[in-house]
Amino acid sequence: MNTGLNRTRWEPYVWLLPSLLLISIFVVFPILIVFKLSFSEISKAGVIGGFVGFDNYVEAVHLPAFKTVMLNTLWWVLSVVLLSTLLGFIIAMVLNQKFRGRKIARSILVFPWATSLVIQASVWNYIIKYEYGNLNNVLLNLGIIQQAINWRSSYQIEFVWECWVGIFVTVPFVTFCVLSGLQSIDDSLYEAAIVDGAGFWDKLRHVTLPMVRPSLTVSTVLNIIYVFNSFPIVYTMTKGAPAHKTDTMITYLYMLSFYERKKGPATALSVIGFLILCLCAGIYMVSVMRKEEQL
Among 50, 51, 131, 195, binds other proteins (CB under 8 A): 131
Q: Does 140 bind other proteins (CB under 8 A)?
A: yes
Long-range contacts of range 97-103, CB-CB < 8 Å, 24 or more positions apart?
none
State the burial class of residue 81 (Cβ atoms within 10 Å of its Cβ: 0-12, 13-18, 19+). buried
Q: Does 105 bind other proteins (CB under 8 A)?
A: yes
Closest CB to other proteins among residues 79, 267: 267
Q: Does 225 bind other proteins (CB under 8 A)?
A: yes
Region binding other proteins by CB under 8 A among candidate stretches 3-11, 51-59, 73-81, 201-209: 3-11
CB of 83 to other proteins, least distance (A): 14
Closest CB to other proteins among residues 13, 54: 13
Question: What is the Cα–Cα distance from 96 to 90, expressed in whole angstroms?
Answer: 10
Q: What is the distance, to the nearest Å, from the Cα of residue 262 to the centroid of all Cα atoms in its chain?
A: 26
DSSP code, position 196: T
What is the per-residue DSSP string for 248-274? -HHHHHHHHHHTS--HHHHHHHHHHHH
Closest CB to other proteins among residues 22, 82: 22
Q: Does 209 bind other proteins (CB under 8 A)?
A: no
Q: Does 146 bind other proteins (CB under 8 A)?
A: yes
CB of 159 to other proteins, least distance (A): 12
Task: Please provide residue 255's backbone torsions phi and psi, each rounded to the nearest 5 degrees.
Answer: -60, -40
All residues at 6 or more sequence positions from 271 whose CB lies less than 8 Å from its CB, including other chains: 34, 35, 38, 57
Q: Does 128 bind other proteins (CB under 8 A)?
A: no
Q: Does 37 bind other proteins (CB under 8 A)?
A: yes
CB of 28 to other proteins, least distance (A): 7
Size of the site for other proteins (CB under 8 A): 135
DSSP code, position 41: E
